[in-house]
Amino acid sequence: DADVTQTPRNRITKTGKRIMLECSQTKGHDRMYWYRQDPGLGLRLIYYSFDVKDINKGEISDGYSVSRQAQAKFSLSLESAIPNQTALYFCATSDPTGTGAYEQFFGPGTRLTVL
């Protein structure tokens, strides 16, 4: 079974709708992240969380919110979806107690289309 899972894998919605993307992990990592990927722009950080009580904005948090329901679960919400939020969304985790390289482990992604 995958260590980092995301649901749904694909979603098509309409402008103005509220959307929730979910991420679960079995790696036991405290740190979790949400990114969006757009063609030619690489990955951009939306939100990150050190633990259940610690949530921080990334570089492009406007229009998004998150919830860390448990160590293993980190959800991303679009309160009122707009077309320029059409993108591929990735969840990731990391373990700060490892090698110190701060590598991250990614889920398979959610492809979101806002019409």
List interacting residues with another protein (CB under 8 A): 4, 31, 40-43, 45, 48, 50, 56, 90, 92, 94, 96, 99-109
* Cβ burial, residue 49 (10 Å; 0-12/13-18/19+): buried
Q: Which is nearer to another protein, 50 or 82 (CB)?
A: 50
Q: Which is nearer to another protein, 16 or 102 (CB)?
A: 102
Question: Which of 32, 31, 7 lies closest to 20 in space, CA to CA?
Answer: 7
Minimum CB separation of residue 49 from another protein in Å reads: 10
Minimum CB separation of residue 68 from another protein in Å reads: 14
Q: Which pair of structure tokens corresponds to residue 93?
A: 């985790």
Q: Which is nearer to another protein, 41 or 70 (CB)?
A: 41
Cα 72 to the center of its chain, rounded Å: 13
Q: Are 12 and 19 in contact (CB under 8 A)?
A: no
Minimum CB separation of residue 29 from another protein in Å reads: 10
